[in-house]
Amino acid sequence: MEVHVLASGSDGNCTVIKNDDEAVMVDAGYNCKTLCHLMELEGIDPGCIKAVLVTHEHTDHVSSIRVLNNKFGYPVYTTPATFDAFDHGNAKLNPIVRGSTFEVCGMTVRSLPTSHDAVEPTAYSFTADGKTVSIITDTGILTKPCQDALRVSDLAILEANYDNQMLSDNPLYPPALKSRIRSDMGHLCNTDSGKFVAETLTPRNRKLFLAHLSRKNNTPDLARETVSRMSGIPRFKIDCLEYKGDTRTVKF
Ligand SMILES: [Zn+2]
Ligand SMILES: [Zn+2]
């Protein structure tokens, strides 16, 4: 398996997971033109993508679903309630049930309920050839299914949305918004992420990628530093996107 993180954070989210010649996209929350450009940079043929899995209906995860469907006809995998909650144009729905397991592109996909202010938020875990990658973002707490998935993941892509102090000090965020972000239905902060990594760390967790970093309330250095301190994983072994337009290929 090969994972391409094309975008991750408040600006938009999109990851492509390639298994042999086929691939799935997880979320498409970036404008279509930029996504196509990023795919080209990463050497991804848009024709190899067979499905787009949607985690939840927030704009930073679905903004280009309609246009991508017009261009490439990608079918959407998500729950019917989530599908109805965003502009999907005439994309075709492959309905899934939260918590269920299904097959796509030769991979076994587990949908993992998350805790977020969306209708039926879900994270996904992918297994092929004995290797597992989990992508867990947009969740205020790490639910039991997410914790279980992290324990058996060879690559964990885990949210580290904000630094507590930076969020507290941010004058542009009203108190209600800060509370929403910090709530059980919000996002994981760097220390949450560090705590869960420490708790779920097993010899199997070989790779860690921090995701969905806020551009206004976090920095890549702070996120890496905090998670490294709390989990004991050396800092240089923890990766994340560094700037807008940065992408990453993770082979494992
Ligand atoms: Zn998000
Ligand atoms: Zn969200």
Residues with Cβ within 8 Å of 241's Cβ and at least 6 positions away in sequence, in order, are 5, 7, 8, 9, 213, 220, 247, 248
Determine the Cα–Cα distance for residues 163 and 144; give it in Å rounded to an integer. 24
- Using the mean position of ligand 1's atoms as its centre, give its distance from the Cα of residue 231 in Å: 24
Determine the Cα–Cα distance for residues 71 and 66; give it in Å rounded to an integer. 9
CATH superfamily of domain region 2-251: Ribonuclease Z/Hydroxyacylglutathione hydrolase-like (3.60.15.10)
> Percent of the chain at pLDDT above 70?
100
For residue 38, report the phi and psi dihedrals to the nearest 5 degrees: -65, -35
Please tell me the number of Cα atoms within 13 Å of 232 on its side-chain side.
7
Ligand nearest to C-alpha 30: 1
Nearest to 226 by CA among 191, 201, 197, 177: 191
Ligand nearest to C-alpha 121: 2
- Using the mean position of ligand 1's atoms as its centre, give its distance from the Cα of residue 138 in Å: 5
**pLDDT tens digits, residue range 94-134?**
999 999 999 999 999 999 999 999 999 999 999 999 999 99
Nearest to 138 by CA among 113, 163, 174, 155: 113
pTM greater than the 0.95 cutoff: yes
- Using the mean position of ligand 2's atoms as its centre, give its distance from the Cα of residue 56 in Å: 7
What pLDDT sits at residue 202?
81
Residue tagged 């938020």 (tokens): 121
What pLDDT sits at residue 129?
94
Determine the Cα–Cα distance for residues 131 and 152; give it in Å rounded to an integer. 9
Determine the Cα–Cα distance for residues 136 and 147; give it in Å rounded to an integer. 10
Residues 192-201 have a mean pLDDT of 94
**pLDDT tens digits, residue range 208-217?**
999 999 999 9
205 — pLDDT class (breaks 50, 70, 90): confident
- Using the mean position of ligand 1's atoms as its centre, give its distance from the Cα of residue 58 in Å: 6
Ligand nearest to C-alpha 212: 1
Q: Are strands 76-78 and 93-95 parallel, antiparallel or unpaired?
A: parallel
204 — pLDDT class (breaks 50, 70, 90): confident
Nearest to 112 by CA among 85, 74, 79: 79
The one-letter amino acid code at 104 reads V
- Using the mean position of ligand 1's atoms as its centre, give its distance from the Cα of residue 127 in Å: 23
